A and B are shown apart, each in its own frame.
Chain A
Amino acid sequence: MKYSVNNYVGAFTQAIKMAPNEATGGLVKLLKKTGDIKHFNKIVEAIHKKLVNEKGGKWINIETARESALKKEKIKHNFSEKDYIDFKINPELVAGMRVTVDGEEELDNTLNQKLKNLFR
């Protein structure tokens, strides 16, 4: 990458305040110019995270082993409306749920982790 994700995020979040209508198009053009368009999804996710955090919310990742185990609405009730909740399916977890907050803190209640702890 020519510039780090953080640089793009910082620049975009400032630019969007100055010119809300042009910022998104400008970002795409810039990414094409610098050749970092292949990291578009990563950058957009980082921008999204930053915007959520700026509004006082948290970026929550919830991983479960199977779709059926998810009771999305029930889980959403436990968080603030400002929070963004991202649900993912990860069969490697075997059973249970893993919650990650802002990519920094994690509550791992999966069977995979319990088995790992047992044999550690």
Chain B
Amino acid sequence: MSYEIIEKLKKEIAGYKDDTQFEHIGVVTEVGDGIAKISGLSKALSQELLNIEAKDSDVSAIAFNLEESFIGAVILGDAQKVKVGDRVKQTGKVVSLKAGQELIGRVVDPLGNPLDNKGVIFTDLDLGKAKDYPLERRAPDVVSRESVNTPVHTGIKAVDAMIPIGRGQRELIIGDRQTGKTAIALDTIINQGQDISDKRRGMICIYVAIGQKNSKVAKIVKTLEEKGALKYTVVVSAPASAPASVQYLAPFAGCAIAEYFMDQGQDALVVYDDLSKHADSYRQLSLLLRRPPGREAYPGDIFYLHARLLERAAKMDKEHGGGSITALPIIETQLGDVSAYIPTNVISITDGQIYLEADLFYKGLRPAINAGLSVSRVGSSAQTKAMKKVSGKLRLDLAQFRELQAFVQFASDLDENTKNQIARGQRLTEILKQVDNDPIPFEKQVLTIYMAANGYLDDVKVNEVRAVSDKIIDNIEKLHGDILKKIRESNQVDDETEERLKSSLGELKGV
């Protein structure tokens, strides 16, 4: 053993090359709040990684503000170590992280360092396979993309039926605090484990926690582990206790990891939880760097910040590997105000939004999705034929129900037709309710919605609808499992399947 060590040291010493040459340097002239002002380094590039030679160890920083006589840099490591007079050197690199398949199942910080006490991510052998991915990268161009054509099934009936999401889409999840935004994202991640068929390969999920409590992140990781979802998920965590610079980098790190998988031809799903806190951290950095504040004190380029992040979500064409990145950014509103600065920005950047309402949540309608304000601009082209067939009627029935419900409050005497429509609407609303962390497979969703929309549940009491529909589906799975299998594999309800479905539902109704 000692021989090996000596040999290794000998190699190191013999291989040492003393190639002193002129280097560009700068000197820290001011430091505080995680920001360093550096004189010199007039050739530094924007977003370049700098190396501050602090007394005990080197500290990394990013060049943010390039001014006439100094650079405003954001310190990434321990800002306490940096002192006035420390020398700073350029690295010629931009911030990047090592990406590889080994990241799956791990919890990392935005620089790719492990946070889960499971040891190093890349061993010496893996390091050769791992690739450096810059956190900031240009979004794929139009030519290399293709339109969204494969669905991302969330396992949530209301979403998959009315607000379908496609692979490569950017769908915003927006709502007040405690309305179930993270739950929707988590259900989507969990559902990817069961939504695999010949036509849909599994997705690699990346959950980016920005400015969250460490306890919440730990809870999420535990849930993912319990549901078996961690084996295809990467968690990037920049908790509330992390410096603003680290929180600012987190979504870009998540996106860089997703790009690695996309470049491998795989489908990736990134959840940015949440971009409101990300905007806050960027505002903090910008104000400390003395950039001019704009509306709500956010800097002028806050739109560009989120646009360039979300534009990296894409569905690549076959010539470019055929991979995709689906982005689910989350925005927290204050008292339902969607017209605030950041919510309107992100609404306009994304391809649709799932709007969650606190009132609906407290009424017990969970997930508390406001179907009227929620839209998906591109997802319907990716929706399966089976879901399209059953959900077309659902949308219409629910819209009529909402209209009548408002009208009925003023009328006492109702005709039979109106009463039936209201009864149908109540049952449809009821079947759209579901608990969190229990996503429903797509074929079962199709079946449930088919039953409710075609009147099979009309004579069941409203409060028993869910239990009865669950029971019917259980029975169909046991007695006529091939129907579900056929819907799952063919993605459609053809005439033959529909006939068989009708007869088996009739059979079970009799029971």
Contacts and interface: CB of A to CB of B under 8 A. Distances in A.
A109 B20 contact: yes
A105 B20 contact: no
Contact of B16 (A101, A104, A108, A118): A118
A114 B16 CA distance: 10
A107 interface: yes
B16 A105 contact: no
B99 to A, nearest CB: 24
Interface residues of A, number: 15
Contact of A104 (B21, B42, B53, B68): B42
Interface of A: 4, 6, 100-101, 103-109, 113-114, 116, 118
Nearest to B17: A117
A4 B70 CA distance: 11
Interface stretch (B22-30, B206-214, B319-327): B22-30
Closest 3 CB pairs of A and B: A106-B25, A105-B22, A104-B40
Interface in B190-249: none
A108 B24 contact: no
Given A6-B69, A114-B18, A118-B16, A105 B23 contact: yes
Contacts of A116: 53
A106 B27 CA distance: 11
A101 B24 CA distance: 10
Contacts of A6: 68-69
Contacts of B18: 114
Nearest to A110: B20
A109 B24 CA distance: 15
A77 B23 CA distance: 23
A104 B69 contact: no
A103 B39 contact: yes
B20 A103 contact: no
Contacts of A107: 20-23
Contacts, number: 36
29 contacts: A4-B69, A6-B69, A100-B25, A101-B22, A103-B25, A103-B27, A103-B39, A103-B40, A104-B25, A104-B40, A104-B41, A104-B42, A105-B22, A105-B24, A105-B25, A106-B22, A106-B23, A106-B24, A106-B87, A107-B20, A107-B21, A107-B22, A107-B23, A108-B23, A109-B20, A113-B20, A114-B18, A116-B53, A118-B16
Contacts of A105: 22-25
Interface string B1-28: 0000000000000001010111111110
A61 to B, nearest CB: 11
A101 B16 CA distance: 27
A17 to B, nearest CB: 21
Nearest to B12: A118
Contacts of B23: 105-108
A16 B42 CA distance: 27
A108 B40 contact: no
Contacts of A109: 20
Contacts of B53: 116
Contacts of A100: 25
A108 B20 contact: yes
Contacts of A118: 16
Nearest to A101: B22
Contacts of A108: 20, 23
A6 B22 CA distance: 26
Contacts of B41: 104
B395 to A, nearest CB: 62
A118 B20 CA distance: 13
